[in-house]
Structure 1
Amino acid sequence: MNFLQQAFRFYINSSLHVALAVVSFTMVTFLNFNLKAGSNILVFVFFSTVVAYNFVKYFSLLKVQRETITTEMKGIVMLSLVSLIPLVMTLNAMTLETFLFIVCLGILTLLYVLPLLPKTKNLRDVSGLKIFVIALVWTGTTVGLPFFETDQGNTLLDTETIYYASSRFFLIIALTIPFEIRDTKLDSPYLKTLPQWVGITNTKVIGVLLSLLSLVILVLSGEDLASPYILLYLLVIGFIVFSNQDNTIYYSAFWVESLPLLWFLAIFIFG
């Protein structure tokens, strides 16, 4: 494996790419509602995503393989620790409402990995719940945080904003489906993921329907049904339809997670 391949692998495995995806969807919210995007919130979202995702993915592994971790894993741990510095610095600059909202998202993330009580399950291991927890945290981060940070938290209960957040929630579930299909052979049967529960074909149908539902709700929220949205949703549906258990890790971890970046660029350029 040459240097570029190693660097790209580290970029994906260290959650830098997914962090860009979360920041991109956060920026889309700022643009859609004409909110002023402060650097603190974007820096926080990026580095908190790196820390949270690496914690979720590697915490259990590090507990049992502490003595035999690879050089790449050591790099990921170091990156996560360094990421805590800008995370804490920007968190210190947040408003009280934003801070409290972040605490709620943080608790939900911790409970995704750690059980609330001894001998109880974490949220990831509760049958059928995993995909909804992921969508809720992504929606809270990419929709809720921009409103709280711009002192617009009181408008989150407005009909337009509820529609918008619901559209993002269903879109995130749809985008998670290629990952669910990819991991069908790896996930324990008791997790009852969508592919385990209804089969891969029906899961794809559900993903397509959720994408269309997200689009309809987005229009109800007041967004114009402009050509960028049609193309973007068609791409989401395409990735769902062509996903299977034999896709490489980069199909979902790079290409699917590149869609939020493309989403931001399309909205930024075409409005």
Structure 2
Amino acid sequence: MRPDSPTPVGAASAGASRRPSRLRRATDALLYSSTWLALAALGLTWATFLFWQTAMPWRLALMIFAATLFLYNIDSVLPYKFQQRLVLSGRKRWMLEHRRELFALALAALAVAATLFFLDGWQPLMLFLGHLAAISLLYSLPLARWRGRWRALRDLPLLKVFLIAYVWAAVTVWIPALYLGKALAAPLVVVLFARRFFFILALAFVFDIRDYTKDRLTGTLTFPGVFGVRATKLVALAALAVASLLLPWGVSAAHLLALTLPALPAAAVIWYADETRPDYYFALLADGIMLLQVLAVWLAALYWG
């Protein structure tokens, strides 16, 4: 067929059917650009302010959203990640095809977060916030060469999930506490931090299950790789149970119910997690559990105070 020949109708229809719909493209962009994840970080921070019945300042909300967007997108475009021996999922393929856009989004988010950081006078907390940023950046950034390969913090055996849980709990509980002038060692702050830590830890195990084959190929020792997928699910459910039992005192029964109800769908997502699940299972459902927690707290605050 000559280059200028018309395309057969059947071939055109087949090509059109293979193209993602607008809704699919928009959903992919929302999930794989880490925008959905940044909204979850923003939402969990807002949930902490709701617990203390205080409005969340919009500039702080924007700073946390932008900082999360920067950290996850800069992580997703690291050059060494695309040199690994991996089976490309739809998510990874999308990221590979949109590396330039993700890098530009990361830089724009960094500019917004840095501007708000300095304008709003967070400099006295530079050391505290700096250690969270350092953990987040060095999580995937190669630090040292060991046995012929560059290693990052995530490559330390079994450490991945604990780093993730610590940073998320620190950002979504400690930052609101500091903004409101509450001591981090105060009993209620400790309970809220521990509850958020174990909640995020339970969900982080789900992503270790997703990355089971990839982590084995790259030599990263995670819970599924060491103890097996079933044992990892049981540990995740145990972490979720601990989070559900760490209930703060002095709140209404309705608020306590709102805090515990999201544990049920979270447990289902954990139990049915498998690396063969579609990308949306992890990006939409597992991350969406965090927003479900926010919705429950917001409804409790709205209707029951």
The verdict on a shared fold, with TM-score over 0.5 as the criterion, is: yes
2:99 to 53, 56, 73: 73
Give the gaps of 5 or more residues in structure 2: 1-19, 85-94
* Structure 2 residue matching 1:114: 3-state secondary structure: coil
2:129 maps to 1:99:
no
2:62 to 30, 38, 43: 43
Specify the alignment match of 2:6 in structure 1. none
Give how far 1:79 is off. 1.5
What is the distance in 2 between the residues matched to 1:253 and 1:234?
18
Specify the alignment match of 1:171 in structure 2. 199
The question of whether the paired residues in 1 share the 8 Å contact of 2:74 and 2:103 is answered with: no
**Cα–Cα, structure 1 residues 208 and 261, in superposed 2: closer, same or farther, change >3 Å?**
same
* Structure 2 residue matching 1:188: 3-state secondary structure: helix
**How does the TM-score come out when normalised to structure 2?**
0.80
What is the distance in 1 between the residues matched to 2:273 and 2:82?
32
Structure of greater relative contact order (alpha carbons < 8 Å, 6+ residues apart): 1
What is the distance in 1 between the residues matched to 2:223 and 2:54?
36
Q: For 1:12-37, what per-residue CA distance to the aligned partner results, in whole angstroms no more than 9, with x for missing partners?
A: 11100000011111011111123441
2:167 maps to 1:137:
yes
What is the distance in 1 between the residues matched to 2:83 and 2:213?
22
Give how far 1:111 is off. 1.9
Q: For 1:130-187, what per-residue CA distance to the aligned partner results, in whole angstroms no more than 9, with x for missing partners?
A: 11111111111111111222333xx110122112101111110101122111111111
Give how far 1:114 is off. 2.6
4+ runs of 1 displaced by more than 6 Å?
none
Q: For 1:63-114, what per-residue CA distance to the aligned partner results, in whole angstroms no more than 9, with x for missing partners?
A: 859xxx9552222122112212211221111333443322111111122123
**Cα–Cα, structure 1 residues 94 and 262, in superposed 2: closer, same or farther, change >3 Å?**
farther
Give the gaps of 5 or more residues in structure 1: none
Aligned identity (percent) is 26
**Cα–Cα, structure 1 residues 186 and 40, in superposed 2: closer, same or farther, change >3 Å?**
same
Looking at secondary structure, tell me which structure has more helix per residue: 1
**Cα–Cα, structure 1 residues 72 and 216, in superposed 2: closer, same or farther, change >3 Å?**
same
* Structure 1 residue matching 2:106: 3-state secondary structure: helix
**Cα–Cα, structure 1 residues 166 and 78, in superposed 2: closer, same or farther, change >3 Å?**
same
**Cα–Cα, structure 1 residues 223 and 242, in superposed 2: closer, same or farther, change >3 Å?**
farther
Query: Structure 2 matches for 1:1-271, cutoff 5 A?
Result: 1-61=20-80, 71-92=97-118, 93-116=120-143, 121-152=151-182, 155-188=183-216, 190-217=219-246, 219=247, 226-271=256-301
**How does the TM-score come out when normalised to structure 1?**
0.89
Give how far 1:115 is off. 4.2
**Cα–Cα, structure 1 residues 202 and 62, in superposed 2: closer, same or farther, change >3 Å?**
closer
The question of whether the paired residues in 1 share the 8 Å contact of 2:177 and 2:189 is answered with: no
Q: For 1:4-61, what per-residue CA distance to the aligned partner results, in whole angstroms no more than 9, with x for missing partners?
A: 2122111111100000011111011111123441112110110110110112222135
What is the distance in 2 between the residues matched to 1:55 and 1:257?
19
What is the distance in 2 between the residues matched to 1:196 and 1:145?
34
RMSD over aligned Cα atoms: 2.2
The question of whether the paired residues in 1 share the 8 Å contact of 2:74 and 2:102 is answered with: no
The question of whether the paired residues in 2 share the 8 Å contact of 1:159 and 1:221 is answered with: no
* Structure 2 residue matching 1:75: 3-state secondary structure: helix
The farther-off stretch of 180-189 and 69-78 is 69-78
What is the distance in 1 between the residues matched to 2:249 and 2:295?
21
What is the distance in 1 between the residues matched to 2:102 and 2:54?
33
The structure whose Rg is larger is 2
**Cα–Cα, structure 1 residues 222 and 57, in superposed 2: closer, same or farther, change >3 Å?**
farther
